[in-house]
Amino acid sequence: MYTVSVQAHYDSAHFLKNYKGKCERLHGHRYVVEAALQTQELNEAGIAFDFVDLKRHLRELADGLDHYNLNDLPQFQGVETSAENQARYFFEELKKRLPEALREGLLYTRVWETPTQWAQYGPSPAAVPAHRAPSIS
């Protein structure tokens, strides 16, 4: 089984409406989002999926959240702007953009709020090793 993964980042503010504590106040993060695809087959070029294409799709989605208050965006109306819900948003939107043959191979999307805490969404629990997000200046 082959797995390819790409990352993008975005800077956004948010607050959690149904949370008691610091996160109920407006605050920001330099988020990192990762998407991973898995396949058993390689194409004629010997690759699972072109990193350039996967990163372009992920970057376009991240750009739509960059420098916004997530609570003001239509895609988060009626849901908390938690890292968990952001990971689900990326998963569902990325799946729509992938070629049909690769959609079932979307393994997970993962959103880091900090280099040591992240939330992941995928179709089922995946045995994906935890690791730190890269440092982004």
Give the domain CATH number at 74.
Answer: 3.30.479.10
Tell me the residue type at 130: A
- 92 lies in which domain range? 2-121
Q: List pLDDT tens digits, range 103-120.
A: 889 999 999 999 999 999
Q: Is residue 38 part of a domain?
A: yes
pLDDT of residue 100: 85
Evaluate whether 106 touches 98 at the Cβ level (below 8 Å): yes
User: Is 107 within the bounds of a domain?
Assistant: yes
Q: Residue 102 domain-assigned?
A: yes
**The total number of structural domains that make up the chain:** 1
6-38 per-position pLDDT tens digit = 999 999 999 999 999 999 999 999 999 999 999
For residue 61, tell me if it sits in a domain.
Answer: yes
Q: Which helix (H) or strand (E) holds 37?
A: strand 27-39
3-state secondary structure of 129: coil
Q: Confirm whether 137 is domain-assigned.
A: no
